[in-house]
A and B are shown apart, each in its own frame.
Chain A
Amino acid sequence: MSNTDELVSAIQAAGADALRDIAAATSAEQLEQARIQYLAKEGVITKFSKSLGTVPGPEKKRVGQAVNDAKNGAQAAWDAKKADVGGGEKKIVAGFDVSMPGLRRGVGRRHPITQVLDEVKSVLIGMGFRYDDYPEYEDEFHNFDSLNTPDWHPSRDSHDSYYTKPDAKGEAHVLRTHTTAFQIRAMKAIGQPPIRAMTAGRCYRRDDIDATHYPIFNQIDAICIDRDVSFADLKQTLYTLLTALLGDDIQLRFRPSYFPFTTPSAEVDVLYRGKWMEILGSGMMRPEVLRNGGIDPEQFQGFALGMGLDRLAMRKFGIDDIRHLYENDEQFLSQF
């Protein structure tokens, strides 16, 4: 090994030492210490460049390169670290103090439920569903009867649903208990299949308020009807929707369930961040419901799905109390 080789490896070793010490520094003082040790006038690396004069001509370039590499590497690491440990020299650069706050208008936010709704809508719109508004001030036919929910069904109890006083025509209304109330209206409005329709919005149930219950909540509902739309299509649609919303690493579980307006019915659970959670109800539309919508159930079949947006937003953002969603505290709203 020549003298030059030894010198170059000594320089490289000094460079490595410098990087190590700079990385290890946790305070402005320690960082300054490292600068003095390696980069200052009398610093280890600087000294090597002074010794350059003693190196034979042909080797000068190689040694000079090694010194430069060590110096530049250490300096870059030092500059980067300085921002981390802070407390460096306070400087007014060219007449302005860069540390003074920028003049900001402030950033507004859409409500977390709106954000989740927009995501769901954009996925389903991409799959050919059309979004329309449907009334939340509903009648019993659309909210219950047309959905195969007989008048003795417990959900129709005034313990569970809000009813209004009679209007001028003597008709009382129900505040929709689910967005599923849109199904007949959508079929009638759109006509014959193929139909892919959805709606979303507020629903009402006569619940007491606590951390997980609120008498007012938001849902999205969708239906898809054509000649051979099947349970398999429903499953695939849900995989597409839920992976888009919650990420590709989720798992789904389909459980038999009961809704008066679907058979087979499936409750869907999703394994999200290590926990199973009930996320939506779905199933194949009942022949009675299709018929009520003016569609021949012998020719056509369809699926329906309905999902609560409040719970979804809570899971997605880790919100622990449903009441936060309706308190509108700026400290809460400005996080999303």
Chain B
Amino acid sequence: MNLHTSWLQQYLDRPIPPRELVDAMPRAALEVEAEEVVGDGYQVELKVLPNRPDCLGVLGIAREMAALFSCNVIWPSDQLPPAAGDEKFSVQIDEPDLCRRFTAAVFRGVKIGPSPAWMQTVLTQAGLRPINNVVDITNFVMIETGQPMHAFDLAKLAGRKIVVRKLRDGETLDLLVGKPIDSTYGNPLCVCDAEKPQALAGIMGGKSAGTEATTTEVLLEVAYFDPVHVRKNVKAVRNRQGSGGSDSSYRFERGVDPNQMLDFARRRACSLIVELTGATLAGPPTDVIAKPTNPRIFTLPAARVSRLIGTTIEPAVVRESLTKLGYQVTDNDVVTVPTYRVDVNDAVVLAEDVARMIGYDNIAAELRPARATRGADCKASRLRTALNRGLVNAGWLETKNDPLESLALASRWLGEPPPALQLNNPATAEMAVLRRTLLNGLLASTQRNVFRGAPGVRLFEIDRTFATLPGIWTLAGIAGGVPGPMNWRGATPVDFYTLKGTIEDAFESAGMRVSFLPIDPKPGSPMRAGASIQIGSERVGWVGELDSATAKVDRAAFKIFGFEINLAAVEPRFEQPVKYAPVSRFPASARDLAVVAKTEITFAEIERVVRASGGDKLERVELVDEFVGKQLPTGHRSLAIRLTFRDPGRTLTAEEVTASVEAVVKQLSAELAASLRA
């Protein structure tokens, strides 16, 4: 709703500086979207809160302002002009639930012409285009009162009769704007003459009975239509035709007042038509109330308001605040709600009105004694935080990628997504399916960074994926190249082992140990080669080199590695109690062995044999180095392994350590045909 403050001021009995009016608007359910100094006041663009259609007319806004500034509303003249005859006009309402009230007034001797300049100014300021005096009066009274109305050229109506009924199968209605409406629009409520529909009720008039330059007889409709039904019809038109609705339907959809304001509006419009078009009223207007609208009544003791607001509010303040806004309040706190306040469906709304009148900013902020509760973060969230910190400490960057992706991306590794993951109404094809892996987004971010010249990446994301509904927390990452600061002593690109180490560190920092088992990736999987990530016997994810054919990163001069972990599977292993293990005060003895074995013998096998044969003093088995070269027999490699021995109760002698090492060497030879490097 757009208006100029000088127009609003005309309805107030005390002059209020325009600036103060604008500043008070937010307290009156009005959001000031834009303001501009024009002449002696402000031209403002207001967003009326959707629950307050009573403020879709300047009188409603004036009512709020009068309450806030403790003055009165000046109601303009609404004297119903005397009727020239006693002509009756018939109105029949077939759908009392959809049209509670319909009033009709007949005018003769109408001279169509331009409306007066003052009216055109107000309409223009409100963003409405002046058309002719009759149409302008209906629009003017609408923005003055919030009550929409419609003027028909009476000569074009058949049977001198109005029937308010649903559009029948086979009927069509050609509207002033847009394509014709028929019963496929859901049999919307129409205002009809004796033969056919002439207007889509509350939304728009038809082409055939509109006023034009030659019109001399006018039928003025001022009615109440059901908000839900009007909204449904507007939606139907909008869905079919791309646009729909009008200033009228905007108000009907939100709810107009079928009583006091409707009455005022029709009298006001009648008096203006007679005054400005030279017409006379043909007879007393017809007023059919198919279903009365009774005011709502609530009891609101001041104690209830005080309890809700959290500060003592005297009964007199409650009564005064509500009375100013047009409520009737009895001494025993019974409040009658004016029917223009369609939003008041519970006593709490009355409390809100009292709070608004006091001013939200005048209510003291105060934490009052309340029962304590224990603040806590849930375990799943603590796990995410712990792993997030673990990766960040390793130099990784946390990303946030789109959870919606294209059907093609969603399908590339996991096949077509089930319908439950596909949006019924995607805005774009790029954002149409809920993701089942974080990899696509991470790859897109990797690609973006590579295009922008990054020599390497270390990116991760922790978020929900939707392979299992309603979603499962997932951690994934992508690394490759030489990310981070340059190491001038020898920059080594990310490879499988650095990524594996990062994952181990991150989990260890979160109090968990992970292990890895080799897996053979299935064809079509994003991974070319890699391992499963295990916690104990539970498989929680995978890590490996990505397949450069399917997980393609253009212009990347390095191999791309990735991992993905199901955090729901990790969660039960998180936050296991830590048990202290005794610490030996005696020194450890370390021996290095260069073990030459066939290349296909894994480190895990060697480690297993070493541990099994090293005796109970063997504390650690560590890989120090891997060597492959011509000095070794073909198909062999040398693994330098450090064995660390320790006894909790004494210092081990050199002889004891040597004996243990010899046992290890013997067993390596026996089980794995491994020898020591000469």
Contacts and interface: CB of A to CB of B under 8 A. Distances in A.
B471 interface: yes
Contact of B470 (A113, A137, A232, A238): A137
Contacts of A253: 361
Contacts of B227: 152
Interface in B416-472: 418-427, 431, 434, 445, 448-449, 452, 454, 457-459, 463-464, 466, 469-471
B454 to A, nearest CB: 6
Given A130-B375, A167-B419, A239-B365, A231 B395 contact: no
Contacts of B311: 230, 232
Interface in B371-421: 371-378, 380-381, 385, 388-389, 391-404, 418-421
Contact of B346 (A163, A175, A263, A326): A263
A233 B370 contact: yes
A325 interface: yes
A235 B380 CA distance: 30
Nearest to A130: B376
B488 interface: yes
Contact of B376 (A131, A135, A227, A264): A131
B522 interface: no
Contacts of B341: none
A154 B420 contact: no
A184 B380 CA distance: 21
Contacts of B381: 121, 131-133
Contacts of B579: none
B27 A255 contact: yes
Interface string A112-152: 01100010010011111111110111100000000000001
A216 interface: yes
B307 interface: yes
B502 to A, nearest CB: 10
B400 A105 contact: no
A166 B49 contact: no
- Category for how many chain A residues contact B: 35 or more
Interface string A92-119: 0000000011011111111101100010
A109 B361 contact: no
A190 B243 CA distance: 45
B395 A258 contact: no
A106 to B, nearest CB: 3
B79 interface: no
Contact of A233 (B310, B343, B380, B485): B310
A183 interface: no
B420 A162 contact: no
B373 A254 contact: no
Contacts of B421: 164
Interface stretch (A12-20, A50-58, A66-74, A194-202): A194-202
Contacts of B483: 106, 330
A158 B373 CA distance: 39
Interface stretch (B186-194, B318-326, B348-356): B348-356
B352 A232 contact: no
Contacts of B391: 108
B423 A163 contact: yes
Contacts of B36: none
Contacts of B52: 258
Contacts of A235: 363-366
B370 A301 contact: no
A313 to B, nearest CB: 11
B444 to A, nearest CB: 8
Contacts of A109: 392, 397-398
A127 B375 contact: yes
A226 B457 CA distance: 49
Contacts of A133: 378, 380-381, 473
Contacts of A256: 26-29, 49, 352, 355-356, 360
B228 interface: yes
A152 B356 CA distance: 27
Interface string A239-270: 11000000000000111111000011110000
B363 A126 contact: no
Interface string B460-494: 00011010011101000000000111111100000
Contact of B484 (A105, A163, A286, A287): A105
A165 interface: yes
A196 B231 contact: no
A108 to B, nearest CB: 4
B678 interface: no
A89 interface: no
B232 interface: yes
Interface residues of B, number: 97
Given A109-B398, A118-B385, A263-B348, A331 B484 contact: no
Contacts of A28: none
B471 A266 contact: no
Contact of A137 (B356, B400, B431, B471): B471
B51 interface: yes
B27 A231 contact: no
B596 to A, nearest CB: 33
A157 B50 CA distance: 15
A326 to B, nearest CB: 6
A168 interface: yes
Contacts of A26: none
Contacts of B27: 255-256
A46 interface: no
B453 to A, nearest CB: 10
Given A108-B397, A135-B471, A232 B423 contact: no
A201 B398 CA distance: 16
Q: Point out which of A215, A235, A326 has the most chain B C-beta atoms below 10 A from its C-beta.
A: A235
A327 interface: yes
A326 B402 contact: yes
A232 B365 contact: yes
Nearest to B433: A164
A315 interface: no
B405 to A, nearest CB: 12
B402 A216 contact: yes
Contact of B448 (A114, A237, A325, A328): A328
Nearest to B239: A158
A123 to B, nearest CB: 10
A210 interface: no
A229 B227 CA distance: 35
A240 B464 CA distance: 31
Nearest to A224: B370
A230 B399 contact: no
A3 to B, nearest CB: 61
A333 B449 CA distance: 11
B399 A333 contact: yes
B650 interface: no
A148 to B, nearest CB: 9
A301 B308 contact: yes
B367 interface: yes
A165 B356 CA distance: 43
Contact of B427 (A100, A104, A206, A232): A206
B235 interface: yes
Contacts of A81: none
Interface of B: 26-29, 31, 49-52, 227-228, 231-232, 235, 307-311, 343, 346, 348-349, 351-352, 355-356, 360-361, 363-368, 370-378, 380-381, 385, 388-389, 391-404, 418-427, 431, 434, 445, 448-449, 452, 454, 457-459, 463-464, 466, 469-471, 473, 483-489
5 contacts: A109-B398, A233-B368, A235-B366, A236-B367, A330-B454
9 interchain residue pairs of minimum CB distance: A106-B484, A230-B310, A232-B310, A167-B420, A264-B352, A108-B392, A254-B360, A235-B365, A125-B375
Interface of A: 100-101, 103-111, 113-114, 118, 121, 124-133, 135-138, 152, 154, 157-158, 162-168, 172-173, 175, 193-196, 201-202, 204, 206-208, 215-216, 226-233, 235-240, 253-258, 263-266, 284, 286-288, 301, 325-331, 333-334
Given A328-B459, A330-B459, 4 more contacts: A108-B392, A126-B375, A131-B376, A258-B29
